[in-house]
Structure 1
Amino acid sequence: MGNVAISVGRRRRRWPEVEERLTQPRRLLRQLSDVDSGRLRRLIRSGDLAPCFDAAEDDAGLDEDCPICFYFYPSLNRSKCCGKGICTECFLQLMPSKSSKKGVFQH
């Protein structure tokens, strides 16, 4: 009983209830051709990424604002090194693209 199913000594995480619309970015400034929408949906539902919340321009009871877009959100993603927050849509835009990971400037 409870929120986590246990089977043969292993714990399985229960995916949090996230509305489908919150698993798709809507405010992107550039087209992200190499974002796998299925993987993004799984990361959000597993709790590894914050949902793509609707942005608020003023505080309206929300504690955190993204330091890049300056909108307020119910929760942000946290960096592992310093704990600073960033919204999911800004994070997606700052991710290196597949072409930059291949070493475009290598000889």
Structure 2
Amino acid sequence: MDLFPLAHSLDRGSSSYRCGASGQRFLASRSRETHHRLRAEIGRFPLIRFTGWSIAKAVSKAWAPVLSMRGFDEFIEKTGLAGTLGQANVDAGVILVELLSYFIL
């Protein structure tokens, strides 16, 4: 009595489960292509991450003086947030620039 008939039919290569040599070559080539594509994507991730970080830093450094020249501090004073932010020792321009850099990232 055979306890595992399906396993034995797979071992013997029954026609319903066998894909043949051409099918095995196809699956092996697809596996290699997927492996190489995945390695390429993983290799590019640090480069993309560094590029985004450097762009975010450059934009934030460029926007800090622009905000001060455009009178962002006076705008904050007119809104009434200057007192609250002054008690917390926080500069609103710095917060806005940091939010901008996080948005870019």
TM-score, normalised by the number of residues in structure 1: 0.26
Higher helix share: 2
TM-score, normalised by the number of residues in structure 2: 0.26
Higher strand share: 1
Structure possessing the higher radius of gyration over alpha carbons? 2
